[in-house]
Amino acid sequence: MLVLDADFPDPSVLLAPDGYYYAYATQTKRNGQILNFQVARSLDLQRWEHLGEALPQKPAWAATSQRFWAPDVSRHPDGRYLMYYSAQPNDPAAGLCLGVAVAERPAGPFRDSGQPLLAGGPGFENIDPMRFVDPTDGRQWLFWGSGFGPLRVRELAAGGLGFAENSEAKIIVEPRAAGDPSPYGHLIEGSWVHYRQGWYYLFYSGDNCCGPDARYAVLVARARHATGPYQTLAQATGTAGTILVETARWQAPGHNSLVTDAHGQDWLLYHAIDRQQPTFDAINDEQGYSRRVLLLSKVDYNAEGWPVVNE
């Protein structure tokens, strides 16, 4: 279901105490204005009000960049809202970094912490962060990864602005994992973790999000512990392992987030390219860049406990 007919890529979703669902998205150009990070809100996940800019001031370490990607916002127990994101640092030759910003309200304004949470590695390996708080013990974990590398996880410190002392990054899913026949596993990214009935479900996407040859789909793995070991749906079933693929209208669906409503129903928010209007006037004179709109689908679970996405 199309729920926001505008460029709104890499969406993450949060249910706030005020009863609104808030969604955040990658940098875009809207009505001729560049927005570093977008924010919208809804009471029912179907009708969305676009609120505009969530990060009005770029961090000093990325002040000259126009590459701000994939914000993930979650609420800290102390009431602050933490936004984890990816950005190109001022050095155009450097790899993308992970950053973190803070706000008092879910709509922002968010202010950067002052330095990258994780300095850039090769290319775009350090992108698409997602903070997950384990409901079983309260530990905080950051999931991230892309750039033809693996998906990773590392424990966060209590305040959320840095990693836990002596913690180390752990690889959880490799591209083209052994025994995984999925045709979408060459590049994997967009981690999103959801806990349900003793399982940690890791949703992620691959292969190519954008452009005229975009080829993207949502995949899933699961584990009994937040840090794994994870088994992909492809490994478990010997299939492609996808739960969401393109249709006649929607090209390259992916980079999802998941939220549970008041009735206990899980919903998937994700972007896709609308074949009826596939491009728009994007940033950096990238005329004709993919226009990725916001869609919503219902999530059920089969007899084996694997998620199934229904239109």
At 79-117, the pLDDT tens digits run 999 999 999 999 988 999 999 999 999 999 999 999 999
pTM: 0.96
Q: Which two tokens stand for residue 157?
A: 């410190």
Q: Is 14 helix (H, G, I), strand (E, B) or coil?
A: strand
Cα 37 → chain centroid: 13
In terms of Cα–Cα distance, which of 113, 124, 103, 126 is closest to 14?
Answer: 103
Place of tokens 């590459």: 67
Cα 215 → chain centroid: 17
Q: Which helix (H) or strand (E) holds 287?
A: strand 287-290
Q: Which two tokens stand for residue 40?
A: 């919208």
Predicted local distance difference test score (pLDDT) of residue 288: 56
Strands 21-25 and 97-103: unpaired
CATH code that applies to domain 2-310: 2.115.10.20
Predicted local distance difference test score (pLDDT) of residue 287: 46
- Could you say which residues of the chain have pLDDT below 70? 177-181, 284-288, 311
- From residue 306, how far is each of 171, 216, 237, 272, 303 by CA, in Å? 22, 20, 10, 23, 8
Residue 160 CA to residue 42 CA, distance in Å, equals: 26
Residue 22 CA to residue 27 CA, distance in Å, equals: 16
